[in-house]
């Protein structure tokens, strides 16, 4: 094999590390994309038994966004396996307070499917609540998965000039008291 | 159903011309607004009423005419709850909505703005427009309110966004 062909072989079959910023993203929509990369379905050489999946590092898991009332409507079920009171239903915000990466983990766990390959795929998922990732993992990362939702900007992130100079929809009437 | 309702409303807006002020006419005298300023110097409190030109004087968008006299109907914008630069124009400094007689919008648009502002405030996108006694940082809120939320504007049932309603005309 020539050196060019060897390089192409490595580039095709190497396991790549992707990074995904979960800030202001819906974990359940993002998990579909992340599962695709974990399984290797974004590659033309994909086969479920080929072990062609990649690693995904997810940062800012603490800053995920759920639509409207889902924080107090979505419930996570857990059973200890023991009888009599082993079942608990935890609200999404309560679970997020205790462990900020758990919702993302549960979402990807579901998106990846119920096959026997799931444990290996979840082992290649690395979740972090904020931007602090150890250098051992970051040095492998070579690609970024684009965000699905646009991050909204807060009003205090705009400068006073930008707010003042933005086109106005209406002007105050005469003798209006500004409060 | 909503299309028939909108046509009926705009027809009434056309007929009652006493209510519909034509904002496209420009007046010679600029509008003067008032501001009350409280200052404490030692044990003396000075409450001053200032008359000044409007801070929005040369920034108002000039719109063409339309069936409805309200500026939002004429602008044909699809405002999202994340457009805080537009929504903040309808708020006082403590986060309260300005009434319709001040902003000049029609009843349906005022309801839509009300719901969009509620969405933006719950999402924590306008923390500086809040009462002075409130916690300005959304992360200091209690329970589920401290976490990020986003909303779907298509759940506002009163008024449809212009991209769908006006194209059907």
Q: How far apart are CA B7 and CA B165, in angstroms?
A: 10
| CA-angle at A165, arms to A159 and A168, nearest 5° | 120
Q: How far apart are CA B88 and CA A74, in angstroms?
A: 31
Q: Which residues of A lie closer than 8 Å to B, measured between beta carbons?
A: 24, 26, 63-68, 71-72, 91-93, 96, 149-150, 152-156, 158, 162-179
User: Tell me, what's the pLDDT at B161?
Assistant: 57
B31, B59, B150 member nearest A65 (Cβ): B150
- Both tokens of B69, joined, read 């006299």
| CA-angle at B38, arms to B37 and B40, nearest 5° | 145
| CA-angle at A99, arms to A97 and A101, nearest 5° | 115
The whole-number average pLDDT for the span A22-40 is 98
Q: pLDDT (tens digit, 9 = 90+) per residue, A55-66?
A: 999 999 999 999
Q: How far apart are CA B56 and CA B62, in angstroms?
A: 13
A175–B34 CB contact, under 8 Å: yes
User: Tell me, what's the pLDDT at B24?
Assistant: 58
Q: Which of B21, B81, B30, B76 is nearest to B56 (CA)?
A: B30
User: Tell me, what's the pLDDT at B5?
Assistant: 47
- Would you say the C-alpha torsion B113, B117, B123, B126 has a positive or negative sign? positive
User: Tell me, what's the pLDDT at B63?
Assistant: 82
Residue with more model confidence, B162 or A165: A165
Q: Is the pLDDT of residue B31 over 80?
A: no
Beta strands in chain B (DSSP E): 32-41, 44-53, 148-150
CA distance A3 to chain B (A): 50
As a dihedral over the C-alpha atoms of residue A129, residue A131, residue A136, residue A141, rounded to 10 degrees, the angle is: 110
Quote the radius of gyration of chain A (alpha carbons, Å).
22
pLDDT band at B32 (very low <50, low <70, confident <90, very high): confident
As a dihedral over the C-alpha atoms of residue B1, residue B5, residue B7, residue B8, rounded to 10 degrees, the angle is: 140
Q: How far apart are CA B69 and CA B23, in angstroms?
A: 7
pLDDT band at A179 (very low <50, low <70, confident <90, very high): confident
DSSP letters along A12-39, please? Answer: HHPPPEEEEE-TT--HHHHHHHHHHHHH
Q: ipTM value of the model?
A: 0.90
A154–B124 CB contact, under 8 Å: yes
User: Tell me, what's the pLDDT at A120?
Assistant: 97
Beta-bridge partner residues of A126: A57
User: Tell me, what's the pLDDT at B23?
Assistant: 57
Q: pLDDT (tens digit, 9 = 90+) per residue, A2-24?
A: 999 999 999 999 999 999 999 99
Is B59 an 8 Å CB contact of chain A? yes
B71, B143, B147 member nearest A170 (Cβ): B71
Domains and CATH numbers, chain A: 14-165 (3.90.1180.10)
Q: Which of B164, B72, B82, B66 is nearest to B111 (CA)?
A: B72
A155–B128 CB contact, under 8 Å: yes
Q: How far apart are CA A46 and CA A66, in angstroms?
A: 32
The whole-number average pLDDT for the span B16-34 is 60
Is B48 an 8 Å CB contact of chain A? no
Residues of chain B numbered 111-150 and touching chain A (CB < 8 Å): 122-129, 143-144, 147-150
Chain B, nearest residue to A69 by Cα: B149
Q: Which of B117, B121, B13 is nearest to B73 (CA)?
A: B13
CB B39 within 8 A of CB B45: yes
The whole-number average pLDDT for the span B14-38 is 63
User: Tell me, what's the pLDDT at A53?
Assistant: 97
B33–A172 CB contact, under 8 Å: yes
pLDDT band at B21 (very low <50, low <70, confident <90, very high): low
- Would you say the C-alpha torsion B149, B153, B155, B158 has a positive or negative sign? positive
Percent of chain A with pLDDT strictly greater than 70: 100
User: Tell me, what's the pLDDT at B26?
Assistant: 57
Which of B116, B150, B156 to mutate: most A Cβ within 10 Å?
B150
Q: pLDDT (tens digit, 9 = 90+) per residue, B62-105?
A: 887 778 888 999 998 899 999 999 999 999 999 999 999 999 99
Q: Is the pLDDT of residue B11 over 80?
A: no
Q: How far apart are CA A107 and CA A114, in angstroms?
A: 13
pLDDT band at A68 (very low <50, low <70, confident <90, very high): confident
Residue with more model confidence, B60 or B157: B60
User: Tell me, what's the pLDDT at B2?
Assistant: 46
pLDDT band at B135 (very low <50, low <70, confident <90, very high): confident
CB B121 within 8 A of CB B88: no
User: Tell me, what's the pLDDT at B30?
Assistant: 64
Which of B70, B121, B142, B144 to mutate: most A Cβ within 10 Å?
B144
């Amino acid at each position: 094999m020539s050196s060019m062909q060897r390089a192409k072989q490595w580039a095709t079959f190497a396991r790549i590390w992707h990074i995904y910023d979960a800030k202001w993203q819906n974990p359940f929509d993002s998990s579909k994309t992340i599962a695709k990369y974990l399984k290797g379905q974004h590659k033309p050489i994909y086969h479920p038994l080929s072990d062609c999946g990649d690693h995904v590092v997810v940062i800012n898991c603490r800053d995920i966004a759920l639509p409207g009332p889902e924080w107090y409507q979505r419930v996570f079920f857990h059973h200890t396996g023991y009888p009599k009171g082993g079942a608990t239903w935890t609200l999404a915000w309560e679970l997020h307070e205790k462990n900020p990466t758990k919702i993302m983990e549960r979402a990807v766990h579901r998106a990846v499917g119920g096959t026997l390959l799931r444990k290996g795929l979840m082992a290649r998922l690395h979740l972090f609540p904020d931007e602090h990732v150890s250098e051992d993992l970051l040095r492998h990362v070579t690609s970024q998965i684009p965000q699905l939702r646009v991050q909204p900007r807060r009003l205090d992130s705009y400068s006073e000039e930008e707010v003042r100079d933005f086109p106005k929809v209406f002007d105050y009437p005469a003798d209006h008291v500004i409060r | 159903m909503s299309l028939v309702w909108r046509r009926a409303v705009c027809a009434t807006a056309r007929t009652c011309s006493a209510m519909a002020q034509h904002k496209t006419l420009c007046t010679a005298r600029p509008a003067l607004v008032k501001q009350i300023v409280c200052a404490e110097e030692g044990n003396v409190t000075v409450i001053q009423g200032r008359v000044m030109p409007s801070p929005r004087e040369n920034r108002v968008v000039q719109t063409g005419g339309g069936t409805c006299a309200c500026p939002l109907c004429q602008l044909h914008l699809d405002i999202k709850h994340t457009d805080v630069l537009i929504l903040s124009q309808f708020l006082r400094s403590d986060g309260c909505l300005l009434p319709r007689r001040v902003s000049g919008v029609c009843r349906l648009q005022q309801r839509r703005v009300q719901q969009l502002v509620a969405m933006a405030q719950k999402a924590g996108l306008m923390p500086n427009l809040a009462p002075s006694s409130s916690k300005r940082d959304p992360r200091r809120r209690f329970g589920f309110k401290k976490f990020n939320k986003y909303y779907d504007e298509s759940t506002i049932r009163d008024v449809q966004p212009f991209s769908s309603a006006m194209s059907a005309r």
